[in-house]
Structure 1
Amino acid sequence: MTENASAAEPLAADSAVAVVGMSGRFPGAPDLDAYWANLLDGLCSVTDFTEEELIADGADAREIRGRDYVPAKGHLADADRFDAELFGFNRTEAAALDPQHRLLLETAWAALENAGRSPLGGTSRTGVYVGGGPTEHMLAAQTDPRLAASIGALQVRILTDREFLAPWISYRLGLEGPSMTVQTACSTSLTAVHLAVQSLLLGDCDTALAGGVAVDAVHKRGYVHQQGGIYSPDGRCRPFDERAGGTVPGNGVGVVVLRRLCDALADGDPVRAVIRGSAVTNDGATKVGFTAPGVDQQTAAVVEAWTAAGLDPADAQYLEAHGTATALGDRIEAAAATAAFKGALGTGRIGIGSVKSNIGHLDAAAGVAALIKSVLMLERATLVPNADPGRPHPELGFDDSPFHLIGRTAAWPEPEHGPRRSGVSSVGIGGTNVHVVLEEAPPRAAAGEPDARGGAEVLLLSARTREDLSVLAGRLAKALRAPDAPSLADTAYTLHRGRAPLAVRGYVRAGDRAGAAELLDGLAAGGPGGLGGPDPLGEAWLAGGPVAREGGGRRVALPSYPFAGESHGAYRLGAVAPGGPETEQRDPSAGLEQGVRALLAEALGLGPADADDPEMTYFAAGGDSLTAVHLVGCLRDDFGLDVPITLFLEQLTLHEMARQIIATGEGDNSLDALLSEFEAE
């Protein structure tokens, strides 16, 4: 913070929350580096599809050739890919798992790594506050009787319903704080941030994940424009612009990691920005219709958030607005913001913009996309424009308001009083308004001196596969060559404390960043697990044992895990469900063992090659308790075999499991007794 900070600022560490990690995937941006580059260039990442692309992806040719069809969307590439094995899902489960769940799991993992924290059970009392939108996959899966027959109706619901978005993260990452799926329509993810902030300040958790995801469909498609509707007639979203004609749908996912500022500073966390205050209101009945926004409670959300921060809205230099580019939405938001920021009335000194111009309207993920944009701007002291900025709409009255529409990328000047600050707004259909007050991070102390290891550091790396380890080593080498690269001691500390220990491992021992980068290139090229000379710590790491690194360091942002999963498709309404791997067919006339093997292979998503692999063991390969319950029922109903559910907790090959099922299945256990046994485990 600057020396001329306001009197309210000394209280910030007691009442403020730090953003210590972030991750996201947005249209045109597989990571936040690409996201920032696109924002910096004022790029519109909405995709215009060709007729051939749409038809090839399953679109109705008659619909897309209609006069009002707009072949544009904020498309999220590779939204059907998922590193299923890393998260403990077999292929059948991964195919049923909604793409929103898949993306949110990977993004939560990456956000924790960005905060320098292990994503697997290393952070207890961590709350999860996330939400998502409705999806075609969920609707299609939950109405497909074949899928229910294959894995069980309850399992289908748990794998596809958005109410389980937060619990899956808590379960798979081992996080023991509150776990809440939030739904407030378009303001979902910023509401999730507000709830996470409140949870931290109340002491319900010590770390919180907050954000949202929106993937209504993974395939390419546009939308039908209706006169007077909310969608743009030309596939472009131009908030507050005189050419504004509506919004454009988009897909994306974003997660932030939050901690109390006092804790983050004490623990040396990489604070990226500070949340000074937040507030949520609802319009109630004070508007013309259920879907219409309202002025008064939007204004109240802004004022209450800045009051919670101990500040005045006029202390802001920038407002990241909801900005749908609809005639009614923009007018009401401009009026509400003008009333809230009246302390700067007529000055035009507060910049305003909306990331929807760049990526479209991300529905449940819109608020976190806007928040991440604002954090990146504060970090880099740079104001970025709307994509293709034009002149402000004359009906918004910006000439006599606190605002000016950002028209080009420019440095964010340091204010005369206090640090740089911005507000972020989000508005949901149904009237839930959210506002968050952001402030630039306090300066971080310089890195300490190298520890007592003679200047040499051991960098410990691990991954699920050798290919992933190579990619990770290459990315880390590039990061250590960057002008703003962290110290080697901080890098070693973060890799040791802030990464999950996975099966495939490697290490390098080096005395400086240049040397470490060169050795990492060797590891990326397929070199031996240890490079740079033998080291006891490194060799213990390769052996798979626990390691205790000596020396200190700070958590720093390093490249996150290079997820490289295959496509698991998505279910579609009115179409054949996505084909999983070919499995053995169940033939009632076939032998009992073959029929049992086919049932197991179907439930576990195994192809013939995997099913015949004498070395592959299950359920360790991905089965879980609900799959086991389903199999117990199928074995009784289809084959008259009663088996204990504990059988599926053993590590057996498919053939061994089938033979043991047959050998033990002639007892008289009832399904109710089996379920009681499962509940007791």
Structure 2
Amino acid sequence: MKIAVVGIGCRFPGAQGPDEFWQLLREGKDMTREVPADRFNVEAVYAPESGTPGKTASRKGAFIDQIDKFDAEFFQVSAKEAAKMDPQQRLLLMSAWDALEDAGQPPSRVAGSRTSVFVGMMNADYWDLQHRNGIADMDLYSFTGMHQRSLASGRLSYAFDLRGPSVTIDAACASSLVAIHLACKSLRSGESTMALACGVNLVLTPHENVMYSQVGMMAPDGRCKFGDASANGFVRAEGIGVLVLKPLERALADGDRVRAVILGSAVSNDGRSKDTLTAPSVVGQEAAIRWAYEDAGIAAAEVDYVEAHGTGTRIDLVELNALSAILAPNRPADRPCIVGSVKTNIGHAEGAAGVAGVIKTVLCLQNGEVPPNLHFDTPHPKLDWDAMPLLIPTRAHALGSADKRAIASVSGQGISSTNACIVLTQADPVAQHTSAEAGRPHAVTLSAPNPAGLDAVCRSFLASLEDGEAGKRHSLRDIAYTTTQRRAQHASRVAFVAASHDELALSLRRHLAGGTSGSFGHGAADDEAGADALRRRLQQIADAYMAGNEVDWSDAAESGGRLVDLPSYPWQLDRHWLDVSRLETNRSAA
């Protein structure tokens, strides 16, 4: 069974959402920077020499902004509970909403369904901070918000009333790839009808930095230099990624937008195929890749792109040798397999590293392009590059062609010796149909849980209608279909009836300036349009909608509407964090 990727929600260093992430990748940006003061005091734990007891050799990382902020009111979470919730849970909630919105799956569609949740997660730094705060401050919210990592998946299932399996996976840095693999298995077996496959990682304490530095795993310059002669370790990073997955046939029947298709997957373990538990193994990695290709029903020579684990450590040599052994047979000499690593852009997101790689690969397949791999200047001398059918790109490369859909795979490993591989391909192209009736009026709805949120939604939507922005490129029919039939309908709401993008933008401006809802588009130049029977019918439905009634837009909507990219919900963020003053007091007393 083929699995469709129908929605993406993500937050990575320097990017919120798939569009910003793709722009970052295309521009070849390196998002590493010095550890910010709101994470920990890097000066206190820094020493330039790897292995210095109690010290880290790197001052850098890749970080997400505003991790202390959360829209608690939107998810009906009290301020007290929000402060005790691991920010990984909070960011998962918002990213999962973004992903469901991107997939056109409002809560009314998914509540009570056999939708599963699989979350890859390996760190719990917020619990470490809470633990240092002392046991007197611990309560039920500490237990559900931080102590039990199982609550990361359970929180999503509860928030959206999802009744399928709900599991948090810790397979170290392979965690989120294993989560995607298990989600696909659940869908294929019929256990789930839809799945959220997630990964999350935040860096809040210096402990792991210090431990990794003791064994020379941290790059002093803060860069992952995959495949390069100067590779000397990785840089730690943060990330949150959520994929909405469905069986492909079901997704097509439901009119979903298919971003890419998962053909197969596999997970292996190195066992005792190496000298020590934590050493990488060619045998284990080859097994996962080979099994995934067999599961996908493809020959290795068909693979056009591999998103590697690619940390810039000794694992690179093992991984590249494993890939070469599998990809070389029957591959034309003039068609090497492109191999890259997202870690060269955003660092190693550990528990979220796999989903970051999959999201990058989905975007590559969707856009028919592989962006440049950073920090690859001198090929590693211990590899026989002339004999390897691999190309690490230092510039953008086209992916796929008119007569061949591109095939890609994503590899990942964990220090627990777990290996995982996901195989994907491009979705079938969708014919672009313009609106059948020029000048036909359409109804567009916008909503939020409260008036302040609604104003933010309207401002965001208005910005998308500017020349060159995504909203202006979509047909009004598709915008109307997406907002009325594929988005959540909250309590604070407004509806606009318009026959053009300009009229819609004018109505939004009037509303934001304090105009009366329901009387849009009826200026002096619009008398004839205002008398139109369809416009009157749409306005009647719009009035009922704004009065809080449940309405059916399908009867008055133009047929053929498609789900399209529109601005995601603009979160109303407030700070929620532990009582740091008490933490510092307890530290001093200790």
Q: Is TM-score (shorter-chain normalized) higher than 0.5?
A: yes
Residue number among 263, 272, 280 corresponding to 1:293 in the alignment: 280
Output the CA distance in 2 between the equivalents of 1:427 and 1:222.
Answer: 19
Change (3 A) 1:156 1:236: same
Runs of at least 5 residues in structure 2 that lack an aligned partner in the other structure: 50-55, 523-535
Instruction: Give, in angstroms, the shift of residue 449 of structure 1.
Output: 4.2
1:543 is aligned to 2:544: no
1:103 is aligned to 2:91: yes
Aligned to 1:147: 137
Output the CA distance in 2 between the equivalents of 1:44 and 1:174.
Answer: 38
Output the CA distance in 1 between the equivalents of 2:213 and 2:79.
Answer: 40
Alignment check: 8 A CA contact 1:231 1:247 kept? yes
Aligned to 2:505: 517
Output the CA distance in 1 between the equivalents of 2:402 and 2:563.
Answer: 29
Match of 1:217, SS state, is: coil
Residue number among 202, 205, 214 corresponding to 2:192 in the alignment: 205
Output the CA distance in 2 between the equivalents of 1:109 and 1:561.
Answer: 9
Instruction: Give, in angstroms, the shift of residue 36 of structure 1.
Output: 1.1
AA at the equivalent of 1:404: L
Aligned to 2:493: 505
AA at the equivalent of 1:379: Q
Alignment check: 8 A CA contact 1:345 1:400 kept? no
1:273 is aligned to 2:255: no
Change (3 A) 1:311 1:572: farther
Alignment check: 8 A CA contact 2:122 2:171 kept? no
AA at the equivalent of 2:7: G
Instruction: Give, in angstroms, the shift of residue 141 of structure 1.
Output: 2.4
Output the CA distance in 2 between the equivalents of 1:400 and 1:571.
Answer: 58
Give me the TM-score of the superposition, normalised by structure 2. Answer: 0.88
AA at the equivalent of 1:458: A
Alignment check: 8 A CA contact 1:71 1:223 kept? no
Instruction: Give, in angstroms, the shift of residue 225 of structure 1.
Output: 7.0
Output the CA distance in 2 between the equivalents of 1:58 and 1:48.
Answer: 11
Match of 2:222, SS state, is: coil
Instruction: Give, in angstroms, the shift of residue 438 of structure 1.
Output: 1.0
AA at the equivalent of 1:567: R
Equivalences for 1:17-166 in 2 at 5 Å? 17-49=3-35, 54=37, 59=41, 61-64=43-46, 69-119=57-107, 122=110, 124-142=113-131, 144-148=134-138, 152=139, 154-160=140-146, 161-166=148-153
Alignment check: 8 A CA contact 1:119 1:498 kept? no
Alignment check: 8 A CA contact 1:346 1:400 kept? no
- What does the per-residue CA deviation read over 1:210-239, in whole Å, with 9 as the maximum and x for residues that have no partner? 011001318999768737521112111111
Aligned to 1:429: 415
1:325 is aligned to 2:325: no
Match of 1:425, SS state, is: strand
Alignment check: 8 A CA contact 1:269 1:556 kept? no
Output the CA distance in 1 between the equivalents of 2:21 and 2:427.
Answer: 20
Alignment check: 8 A CA contact 1:28 1:76 kept? yes
Match of 1:168, SS state, is: helix
- What does the per-residue CA deviation read over 1:556-610, in whole Å, with 9 as the maximum and x for residues that have no partner? 23221111211112477993499xxxxxxxxxxxxxxxxxxxxxxxxxxxxxxxx
Output the CA distance in 2 between the equivalents of 1:220 and 1:558.
Answer: 41
Residue number among 336, 360, 381 corresponding to 1:394 in the alignment: 381
Output the CA distance in 2 between the equivalents of 1:414 and 1:199.
Answer: 32
Instruction: Give, in angstroms, the shift of residue 122 of structure 1.
Output: 3.5
Output the CA distance in 2 between the equivalents of 1:120 and 1:229.
Answer: 50
Q: Percent identity?
A: 37
- What does the per-residue CA deviation read over 1:521-544, in whole Å, with 9 as the maximum and x for residues that have no partner? 444455443333581122112111
- What does the per-residue CA deviation read over 1:643-673, in whole Å, with 9 as the maximum and x for residues that have no partner? xxxxxxxxxxxxxxxxxxxxxxxxxxxxxxx
Aligned to 1:179: 166
Match of 1:39, SS state, is: helix
Match of 1:198, SS state, is: helix
Output the CA distance in 2 between the equivalents of 1:421 and 1:555.
Answer: 25
Match of 1:575, SS state, is: helix
Equivalences for 1:185-584 in 2 at 5 Å? 185-217=172-204, 226=213, 228-327=215-314, 329-343=315-329, 344=331, 349-414=336-401, 418-447=404-433, 449=435, 455-481=440-466, 482=468, 485-530=473-518, 531-533=520-522, 535-549=539-553, 550=555, 551=557, 552=559, 553-570=561-578, 575-576=583-584
AA at the equivalent of 2:353: A
Match of 2:273, SS state, is: coil
Instruction: Give, in angstroms, the shift of residue 132 of structure 1.
Output: 1.7
- What does the per-residue CA deviation read over 1:267-314, in whole Å, with 9 as the maximum and x for residues that have no partner? 211100111111111111212222122111211111111111111121
Change (3 A) 1:571 1:298: farther
Match of 1:86, SS state, is: coil
Give me the TM-score of the superposition, normalised by structure 1. Answer: 0.76
Aligned to 1:640: none
Alignment check: 8 A CA contact 1:131 1:165 kept? no
Output the CA distance in 2 between the equivalents of 1:333 and 1:296.
Answer: 10
After the TM superposition, which of the residue ranges 374-383 and 338-347 deviates more from structure 2? Answer: 338-347
After the TM superposition, which of the residue ranges 249-258 and 505-514 deviates more from structure 2? Answer: 505-514
Output the CA distance in 1 between the equivalents of 2:514 and 2:229.
Answer: 56
- What does the per-residue CA deviation read over 1:237-289, in whole Å, with 9 as the maximum and x for residues that have no partner? 11111221110000110001111111111221110011111111111121222
Instruction: Give, in angstroms, the shift of residue 490 of structure 1.
Output: 2.2
Match of 1:396, SS state, is: coil
Alignment check: 8 A CA contact 1:189 1:366 kept? yes
AA at the equivalent of 2:135: P
Instruction: Give, in angstroms, the shift of residue 58 of structure 1.
Output: 5.0
Output the CA distance in 2 between the equivalents of 1:268 and 1:220.
Answer: 47
- What does the per-residue CA deviation read over 1:151-207, in whole Å, with 9 as the maximum and x for residues that have no partner? x3x432111122111111010112222211122110111111111111111111111
Change (3 A) 1:194 1:221: closer
After the TM superposition, which of the residue ranges 224-233 and 131-140 deviates more from structure 2? Answer: 224-233
Match of 2:565, SS state, is: coil
Output the CA distance in 2 between the equivalents of 1:58 and 1:304.
Answer: 42
Instruction: Give, in angstroms, the shift of residue 464 of structure 1.
Output: 2.4
Q: Of the two, which has the highest radius of gyration?
A: 1
Runs of at least 5 residues in structure 1 that lack an aligned partner in the other structure: 1-14, 579-681
Instruction: Give, in angstroms, the shift of residue 346 of structure 1.
Output: 5.6
Output the CA distance in 2 between the equivalents of 1:220 and 1:269.
Answer: 43
Match of 1:257, SS state, is: strand
Instruction: Give, in angstroms, the shift of residue 23 of structure 1.
Output: 1.1
- What does the per-residue CA deviation read over 1:353-410, in whole Å, with 9 as the maximum and x for residues that have no partner? 1000101100110001010101111111111112233132121222211101111123
Match of 2:213, SS state, is: coil
Alignment check: 8 A CA contact 2:263 2:296 kept? yes
Instruction: Give, in angstroms, the shift of residue 27 of structure 1.
Output: 0.7
Instruction: Give, in angstroms, the shift of residue 437 of structure 1.
Output: 0.9
AA at the equivalent of 1:390: D
- RMSD of equivalent CA atoms: 2.7
Alignment check: 8 A CA contact 2:114 2:162 kept? yes
